[in-house]
Every structure is written in structure tokens, then in C-alpha cells.
Structure 1
Amino acid sequence: MLNTMLGNYFPILLFILVGLAIGVLSMLAGWLLAPNKPDAEKLSPYECGFGAFEDARMKFDVRYYLIAILFILFDLEIAFLFPWAVVLKEIGWFGFVAMLVFLGLLVVGFIYEWVKGALEWD
């Protein structure tokens, strides 16, 4: 029984090993075959075609992170909506109401952020 169970997972193990081998071999081939001629121009910091003006470790406004988190949140919402739309006929009214509650909570959270002024750039 143990041998049969391990045999069922062998294709997954083989897939992982082949994927790792392809990744490692391609990186190794690039490292071995690519020309390596560093000079001052190649080793200098690069920022949009010209030298950096300031230190690269400057502080970012926290609003950028807030917008990024909101983007991820609503992106995940779409990831939940697609499978829900596919199986809507099978899950019936319960699934419909559950998704309405989910979307309602997201809308309430978005309105809260908006009213608190977290999305203002002034």
C-alpha cells in the first residue's frame, strides 16, 4: 500500500525535479556562456537612462503602500468572482447571498477608507 501511494506521487516529484533542473541548467549556461567584461559604466547605478540624483534609500509615502494593498485586495476579489460566476447555477441562492455579503463587506471597507481620507493625495 505504501509503495502504491508513493507511486502516485512520483509524477509530481518528477515534474518538480525536471523544472528545477531546467531552471538550474539555464542559469548555469547563461553564467558560463555569457561574456563577462565589467567596466565602470556597467557597474554604475542606473536610473531611467541617467545617473541617480539622490540616495536610492529614500523614504516612500505610506499612501503608495495603501494603494498597493487596496489593489491586491480588489485583485483577489476578482479572483473569487470568476469561479463563483462559473458555478453560480450549482450553488444557488446561498452562494449568491454569500457573494453579496462578501462584496458588501468590501464596499463598506472601501467607503470607510474613502471617508477617513486615506485615499487623498493632498
Structure 2
Amino acid sequence: MKLIYLMILITLMLTIIIMMLASIISKKSINDREKNSPFECGFDPKNMTRLTFSIRFFLIAVIFLIFDVEIVLMLPMILTFSISILKLWTLTSIYFVLILIIGTYYEWKFGALNWL
């Protein structure tokens, strides 16, 4: 049992030593302005590192993602048409498309789809 504790202790000590050596070796000693600047950006990184983020762009990206996932969910409906009950398949398809139409109308009504 003492041998297991000794092996665990040696493993932990070796791990801590390797992590400390890696952190010491990886430190940069020379701060060069060219290496610290963004690649081909044209902005000085010391003045302003963050620019304002357009919430409109984020909203359009989320809407695209949602409708992209819904298209992926609609594709298997075509494959299940031949093996499912027609009445149940039709009701499910209509319900799914109706939810999509209501969601699109909601986004349109509150101006999420306006580009200006």
C-alpha cells in the first residue's frame, strides 16, 4: 500500500515540476511591437482591442442557424413518407411548417428581418 502512495506522490511531483518548467520556458522575454500587433488588421492593438459588436449581425446569424437546423429536421420527413401513416405524417408536417411560418411572422413583425 505504501508503494502505491509513493508512486502517486512521485507522479504528482513529476507532473508539478513539468508544468512549472513548461510555464517558465513558455514566457516571452522580448515584446516586439510587430509580433504583438494583429495580423494585417491596420489597427494599433494598444489603443483599442475591442470594437463594438453589431447585435443585428448576431440576430441574423441566430435566425439563420435556427432555420438551418429546421431544414435539417425537415429532410427526413421526405424519407419517412413511404413508411408512415399518411394522416399522421400530414398532420405532423403541417404542424411543423405552421410553427415555422408563425416564427417567421413573429421575427418579421418585430423587425428582426429588416436589413436597414
TM-score (norm 1): 0.56
Partners of 1:61 and 1:50 lie apart in 2 by 19
Alpha-carbon distance, 1:50 to partner: 3.9
Structure number, greater radius of gyration: 2
Q: Percent identity?
A: 34
Amino acid at match of 1:62: I
Structure 2 CA distance for partners of 1:56 and 1:106, relative to 1, 3 Å: farther
Alpha-carbon distance, 1:42 to partner: 4.2
Q: Which residue of 2 aligns with 1:74?
A: 67
Alpha-carbon distance, 1:41 to partner: 3.6
Unaligned runs of 5+ in 2: 1-31
Residue 51 (1) aligns with residue 45 (2):
no
Q: Which residue of 1 aligns with 2:92?
A: 98
The 8 Å contact of residues 63 and 119 in structure 1, kept in 2 or not, is answered as: no
Aligned length: 83
Q: Which residue of 2 aligns with 1:115?
A: 109
Unaligned runs of 5+ in 1: 1-38
Please provide the CA RMSD for this pair.
2.3
Partners of 1:78 and 1:121 lie apart in 2 by 23
Higher share of residues assigned helix:
1
Q: Which residue of 2 aligns with 1:85?
A: 78
Structure 2 CA distance for partners of 1:56 and 1:88, relative to 1, 3 Å: farther
Residue 64 (1) aligns with residue 57 (2):
yes
